[in-house]
Amino acid sequence: MNSKPVIQLRDLCKTYHSGEVEVHAVRGVSLDILKGEFVAIMGSSGSGKSTMMNMIGALDRPTGGQYLLDGVDVATLNRDALAKVRNEKIGFVFQGFNLLSRTTALENVEMPMLYNSGRIRAQERHAQASKALNLVGLGSRSGHHPNQLSGGQQQRVAIARALVNQPTILLADEPTGNLDTQTSIEIMGVFQTLNDQGITIVMVTHELDVARFTKRMIVLRDGRVVTDEPVQPRSQADVELGKLKVAQEAVQLH
């Protein structure tokens, strides 16, 4: 696998000013994430993991340090250029799914293509969106509205939406936070499959179980990296699903 760094953080800082008080959310994080990696960023609430995620996702700007995405210094970009980065290089998956209600799954997945700098024909948009939905195993549900889908299905739609513009990285902020154990494992299975296909994934989570599905675990505390190590042993989604099934059957037997 290619080992070019996709994300390079150099002494990244973020300081909020809330009234008189300065809040140092991120205080000097330096790390490289290579192409094809599957990284979990962990930490308790207030550890700065969400702030860091927003900066990596080009939704927020750092107040210090440097962030290179694909070799481009994101801090130098203006609002429109940031929007372009979010559109073309980054796929974002949220804890709350953030799908548009009363809009079909297919249209939700098509939405990022509406903001592409190059014009994409409606036919092409449909084809790409259908392909992305098939990839996450929801091809048959493309005409459903989010309120007609389960949580796990909604998150799959969100993943399809994140993938549709073929981004360099997939960012997921607590993607399993609103899901039950089985659905969480299924979603992690989707991520593992995508990662096996070569997509770089960075995921924020506070659950160790979920982090075990990734390849590398970074723990933040008070805005600093305290641990950065490979995941050993690594969970495999199909194996875990099998175990869960056995456990559920055992409960029902007694």
Binding of another protein by 168 (CB under 8 A): no
Q: Rounded to the nearest whole angstrom, what is the least distance from the CB of residue 150 to another protein in the complex?
A: 20
Q: Which of 92, 156, 160, 213 binds another protein (CB under 8 A)?
A: 92
The tokens for 246 are 């056995």
Q: Which of 2, 17, 45, 102 binds another protein (CB under 8 A)?
A: 102
Cβ neighbours for 79, distance < 8 A, ≥ 6 positions apart = none
Q: Rounded to the nearest whole angstrom, what is the least distance from the CB of residue 80 to another protein in the complex?
A: 5
Binding of another protein by 111 (CB under 8 A): yes
Task: Mark the segment that binds another protein (CB under 8 A) among 96-104, 138-146, 206-214, 224-232.
Answer: 96-104
Binding of another protein by 184 (CB under 8 A): no
Cβ neighbours for 238, distance < 8 A, ≥ 6 positions apart = 189
The tokens for 83 are 């929007």
Cα–Cα distance, 15 to 24 (Å, whole number):
4
Q: Which of 4, 72, 73, 114 binds another protein (CB under 8 A)?
A: 114
Binding of another protein by 104 (CB under 8 A): no
Cα–Cα distance, 140 to 130 (Å, whole number):
9
A 10 A CB-CB count for 253 gives 6
Q: Rounded to the nearest whole angstrom, what is the least distance from the CB of residue 115 to another protein in the complex?
A: 4
| Cα dihedral across residues 241, 128, 109, 206: positive or negative | positive
- Pick 81 or 226: Cβ nearer another protein: 81
Query: Do residues 81 and 88 lie in contact, with contact meaning Cβ atoms separated by under 8 Å?
Result: no
A 10 A CB-CB count for 247 gives 11
The tokens 């949580």 sit on which residue? Answer: 151
Q: Which of 28, 46, 60, 77 binds another protein (CB under 8 A)?
A: 60
Binding of another protein by 16 (CB under 8 A): no
Angle, helices 237-253/181-196, rounded to nearest 10 degrees: 160
List phi, psi (to 5°) of 213. -80, -15
Binding of another protein by 67 (CB under 8 A): no
Task: Mark the segment that binds another protein (CB under 8 A) among 37-45, 67-75, 100-108, 230-238.
Answer: 100-108
Could you list the residues that contact another protein (CB under 8 A)?
Answer: 54, 57, 59-60, 79-80, 83-84, 86-88, 92, 94, 98-100, 102-103, 111-112, 114-116, 119, 122, 161, 165
